[in-house]
Amino acid sequence: MSETIAAISTAPGEGGIGIVRVSGESSKEIMSRVMDNFPDNVKPRNAYFGKVTDGKEIIDEAIFIYMESPSSYTGEDMLEIQAHGSNVSLKKILRAVLNCGAYGIRIAEPGEFTKIAFLNGKMDLSQAEAVIDIIKAKTDLSLEIAESQIEGRLGNSIRKMRENLLDILAKMAVNIDYPDEDIDQVVNDEFVNQIRWVLLDVDELLDTASIGRIAREGIKIAIVGKPNVGKSSLMNALLGEGRVIVTDIPGTTRDTVEESVSLGGIPIVLIDTAGIRDTDDRVEKKGIEKTEQAIASADMVMLVIDRSSDLEDEDNRIIKFVEKMNGEKILVVLNKSDLGESIDEDTIKKKISGVTVVTTALTEKKSLEAALKVSEAVGKMFGIGNINPSESNIVTNERQIQMLKNASMNLSDAITMLQNGESIEIAELSVHYAYDSLGKIIGEEAGEEILNTVFSKFCLGK
Ligand code: GDP
């Protein structure tokens, strides 16, 4: 008989309901010992109302659900005790479960329920990682991607790629065992072709990593511009709250302010900066250095310009500064359009090639409209409006990205070797490495170390 594990599965703190979860062969026996009015004929997946006891006293009232292997989350027999969400009573229930005298019961490690589910073939490793992503999702976009992964979409395409590689490996093995010198070149070309198809799939998946990273970490946006053009007002409009102090004294945003916000499901980190300007003021100088750092670490820059007056030296200095960036990652916000229109979009587009320009008025009445315009432009710049996470495969996970990169590199190597007339034997080794790397994504070739790293990221009770 194997061990049985138990843990409190709900978050600590007060809640309407709290759950103690048990998985393993002793589950039913535990139910019989901690349930005061244990029924004679327990039917799996039925809810039973009863009292939890530690053998001496009643701890709480609860709903007991017993699930029979293999029809449970872990694939083992399981028990869920749904009690009141009090920390004290849940701990008492867990203690009663652990001390009830059933065989081999112990407290679960973080992620162990999901690890058992993986080991029992209930899900592949990419699906298990999606479980963590769902738990930790902070935005609509990352949640949608995780939900699509938990359905096994990523695992399915990886399996398809591996099937193709296995086919290639089998043919290669035949050629190694029975080499026929006359047809070598033709055979090599055929292998190159087949490997290239798989490489295309791997690289296509890798290309989604940038969107995956955005979903996970957000787009880092540095808001820059000379003092008093409306940077703080823009940030507030995007945040929807008056969180940053807005003043009409130039140079008052002395330090950088970072705020996270979800715009249309896209996680965004906004960095409001002091203006870039020549100054002797030491405090402000520090702010300017921070602006430079903010620009360097940002995925994109929002350059705010006061549209109502002509470009000043200071604007031009900042334009010169940001123009070193890829123009496609610069959004120019021509603000204060309610006060005048001295600058038009074309002037800016001529100065910085590839930029997107929007015109705004960040007055009380128009700031919502401005925020929508700006966030729509950001979405377009990152191609986010076009993706549908439930229909496409997106990799978000650093470990998976690394494995895809390994596979891509090894497949490219194999192609180069075959094209250079190296022996199939050597190329076969690279294809094999690629096959193993892809396997690690779904957990097929994953050793204990990988599994421990993955599951240690889970919370207790999952
Ligand atoms: P920052 O120094 O660039 O952060 O500029 P602020 O956001 O602090 O704005 C400076 C001043 O300009 C404040 O009084 C704002 O209310 C005002 N302001 C900002 N945007 C606009 C706008 O589009 N139209 C008008 N009329 N005033 C604005």
Distance CA(79)–CA(69), nearest Å, equals 11
pLDDT band for 436, please (50, 70, 90 cuts): very high
Residue 73 · residue 24 · CB < 8 Å: no
pLDDT of residue 378: 86
Which residue shows structure tokens 């507030």?
236
User: What residues contact 395, with CB distance under 8 A and at least 6 apart?
Assistant: 154, 205, 206, 208, 209, 212, 401, 404
CA 354 to centroid of ligand 1, rounded, Å: 26
Residue 230 · residue 336 · CB < 8 Å: yes
Residue 63 scores a pLDDT above 60: yes
3-class DSSP state of 292: helix
Residue 246 scores a pLDDT above 60: no
| pLDDT one-digit tens code per residue, 45-58 | 999 999 999 999 99
Distance CA(85)–CA(67), nearest Å, equals 22
For the domain spanning 4-108, the CATH number is 3.30.1360.120
CA 232 to centroid of ligand 1, rounded, Å: 7
Residue 173 scores a pLDDT above 70: yes
Residue 317 scores a pLDDT above 70: yes
Query: Among 124, 85, 100, 132, which Cα is nearest to 26's?
Result: 100
pTM, two decimals, is 0.69
pLDDT of residue 254: 45
Nearest CA to ligand 1 atom 2: 228
23 or 385: which carries more pLDDT confidence?
23
Distance CA(400)–CA(397), nearest Å, equals 5
Question: For 431-437, what is the mean pLDDT?
Answer: 96
Please state the domain extents for the chain. Answer: 4-108, 127-208+394-455, 218-381
Question: For 380-393, what is the mean pLDDT?
Answer: 71
Question: For 323-331, what is the mean pLDDT?
Answer: 82
Beta strands 330-335 and 356-359: pairing type? Answer: parallel
313 or 429: which carries more pLDDT confidence?
429
60-64, 268-272, 274-278, range with the lowest pLDDT: 274-278
Which one of 10-19, 161-170, 277-286, 325-334 scores highest in mean pLDDT? 161-170
From the alpha carbon of 362, which atom of ligand 1 is closest?
Answer: 23
Instruction: Let me know if the fold of 127-208+394-455 is the same as that of 218-381.
Output: no
User: Percentage of residues in the chain with pLDDT exceeding 90?
Assistant: 45
Which residue shows structure tokens 């035949």?
174
pLDDT band for 387, please (50, 70, 90 cuts): low
- Ligand 1 pocket residues where CB is under 6 Å: 225, 227-233, 246-248, 253, 335-336, 338-339, 361-363
From the alpha carbon of 235, which atom of ligand 1 is closest?
Answer: 7
CA 258 to centroid of ligand 1, rounded, Å: 19
Q: Which of 226, 232, 233, 318 to mutate to test the pocket of ligand 1 (most atoms within 8 A of CB)?
A: 233
Across all residues in the chain, what is the average pLDDT? 85
Residue 280 scores a pLDDT above 80: no
Nearest CA to ligand 1 atom 19: 230
Encoded tokens for 197:
């198809």
31 or 185: which carries more pLDDT confidence?
31
pLDDT band for 245, please (50, 70, 90 cuts): very low
From the alpha carbon of 225, which atom of ligand 1 is closest?
Answer: 3
User: Percentage of residues in the chain with pLDDT exceeding 70?
Assistant: 87
pLDDT of residue 258: 67
CA 55 to centroid of ligand 1, rounded, Å: 69
Residue 281 scores a pLDDT above 90: no
State residue 18 phi and psi, 5-degree precision. -130, 145
Distance CA(259)–CA(391), nearest Å, equals 31
For the domain spanning 127-208+394-455, the CATH number is 1.20.120.430
For the domain spanning 218-381, the CATH number is 3.40.50.300
pLDDT band for 242, please (50, 70, 90 cuts): very low
36 or 227: which carries more pLDDT confidence?
36
pLDDT of residue 332: 95
Residue 355 CA, chain-centre distance (Å), reads: 28
